[in-house]
Amino acid sequence: MAPVLAIVLAACSPALPEDVAARVNGTVISAAELDLTLQHSGVAQHDQEVRRRQLEKLVIEELLAQQFLRSTPGSVRVEESAVSAARREILARRYIMDLVNGIPPPQDAEIEAFYRDNPAMFAQRRIFALREFEISAPASRETELRQHLRAAHSLEEFADWLRREELPFVITEAERGAEELPAEVAAQLAVLKEREVALLSGPAGLRVIEVVRASASPLDENAARPLIERRLWTEKRVAAVDAEVRRLSRMAAISILDGTGRKDAGGIPGLSPGAAAVLAPALSLP
């Protein structure tokens, strides 16, 4: 807790004159805050014109934030919640980046093995136009869902049955290369013809993927190398964070509440393997 406490105290302490970039009705916008926003935006921090424009943006945001607090009933609670959420996200992401920055990129042997072991993604790659059904249903109905899907003459007929059963579902359409898919999904789609479907179990129920159209577009190892390196490196980063999150959760006192302030009997004492996958976007490499 000491580092977090130091950050909170630093935020509450008067800024030194050299750290003040601007004041808005007495509220300080610090040079450190300006530097941090420039760093997050990925622009040159020492470009004076860029710094001036970014500082203007912060001043405008502060003016609007102050007006919100003056004009909106209950805004103090909103502000406190927003600050708490922003603080949590920022500190968590800083810790994540510190954790993964030392992870080396995959070695040549790892890249070569991944290319060799996943022909559907590269050597036999296809580009798919896909239609996907994400169906929210309890595990107890999965067998029934599969039976109705097999019996349906079309996905439209299957969708009508889902509506009658009041089972929520979302349909999406997208074009994806095989290398963009999880390896196990790419392998299943590789053997399908157009208008055939793959059935996959998902965390919320059943996932139905129809191959609307497919065209061959193989990648040799040289072309696939940067894609594989980025994929494996991201997977290593996600795995490291997942292991750390599970380690911390085992040592923490975690209570899941039911929305009324009471402890949820179904609450989890720790986090399951793979739980940190929700952080994957923050860990993806450009």
What pLDDT sits at residue 12?
Answer: 43
The 3-state secondary structure of the chain reads CHHHHHHHHHHHCCCCHHHEEEEECCEEEEHHHHHHHHHHHCCCCCCHHHHHHHHHHHHHHHHHHHHHHHHCCCHHHHHHHHHHHHHHHHHHHHHHHHHHCCCCCCCHHHHHHHHHHCHHHCCCCEEEEEEEEEEECCHHHHHHHHHHHHHCCCHHHHHHHHHHCCCCEEEEEEEEEHHHCCHHHHHHHHCCCCCCEEEEEECCEEEEEEEEEEEECCCCHHHHHHHHHHHHHHHHHHHHHHHHHHHHHHHCCCCCECCCCCECCCCCCCCCCCHHHHHHHHHCCC
Of 49, 43, 51, 41, the C-alpha closest to 21 is: 51
Class of domain 126-216 as given by CATH: alpha beta
What pLDDT sits at residue 222?
Answer: 96
189 within 8 A of 131, measured Cβ to Cβ: no
Of 233, 278, 279, 123, the C-alpha closest to 186 is: 123
What pLDDT sits at residue 200?
Answer: 86
* Domain assignments of the chain as residue spans, ordered by start: 17-71, 76-122+222-250+268-286, 126-216
Q: Report the C-alpha dihedral over residues 64, 69, 73, 77, rounded to 10 degrees.
A: 120
pLDDT means per 10 residues, the chain with 286 residues, are: 35 58 90 83 70 89 87 80 81 86 94 96 96 88 89 91 93 94 90 90 80 96 96 91 85 68 50 59 58
Our measurement of the distance from residue 187's CA atom to the centroid of its chain's CA atoms, rounded to an integer in Å, reads 24
Rg (CA), the chain: 25
What pLDDT sits at residue 267?
Answer: 44
Distance in angstroms (rounded) separating the CA atoms of residues 167 and 144: 12
What pLDDT sits at residue 233?
Answer: 93
Distance in angstroms (rounded) separating the CA atoms of residues 46 and 50: 8
What pLDDT sits at residue 6?
Answer: 33
What pLDDT sits at residue 285?
Answer: 56
